[in-house]
Amino acid sequence: MLVKSRVPESADDIDVEDDLFGSPRLPGEPDSETVTARDGSVGPWWDRLPHFPIGSAPSVGSELQSEHFVPLRHAGAALEAIRAHSARLQPLLHVCELRTMAGDELWLSPTQGEDVLCVAFTWKKLAAPVLELLSVIERSLSPFEARPHWGKLTSLDRDEFNHLYPRLPSFRRLVSEADADRKFVSPFSERLLDI
């Protein structure tokens, strides 16, 4: 678990607890070339907020990624639904990251409307079995209103996006007014957003 905190601008390095909720710290220090410092050293947000230092290859570098944003009120049930697929997940997965995020009011935001749990999968680069399992996982998450990340893998179609993003009609109207020449429309946005 990575715990990141905001500190006053004048703060010195902070002490890092030896355990968190009874779990011990990972021994040793990470390779500073590939992982952000986790030793309590204070630094600018752009050097501490990301998990991987700017300029380094994130994670393993050659991978597939998917993320799903589940309303926090459904987090426990959604994790149980994912856990049911653990035997199939394990051989295809590098890592699964869980993080909570505050809700916002942006029309196409995956956190629009309420606080969420983000379930991020970093997959091995095995496209066919990953996409097959991703479809199964997305069906399992469907009752929990899980929204996929716009820039990562998903098997969901236009109808499913319409259901998950209630402000899509407003966005379509805005696009038709502000981009009548369709300069900012792509095959991806046509397929999923119907614009």
* 57-73 per-position pLDDT tens digit: 666 678 999 999 999 99
From the number of C-beta atoms within 10 Å of its C-beta (0-12, 13-18, 19+), residue 154 rates as: buried
Q: Which tens digit of pLDDT belongs to each residue from 94-151?
A: 999 999 999 999 999 999 999 999 999 999 999 999 999 999 999 999 999 999 998 8
Question: With 0-12 CB in 10 A as exposed, 13-18 as middle and 19+ as buried, what is 21?
Answer: exposed
Does residue 143 share a domain with residue 68? yes
Do 152 and 78 fall within a single domain? yes
* Total tally of structural domains belonging to the chain: 2
Return the CATH number at 73.
Answer: 3.30.70.2520
Residue 178 lies in a domain: no
pTM across the whole model = 0.79
pLDDT in tens, 105-120: 999 999 999 999 999 9
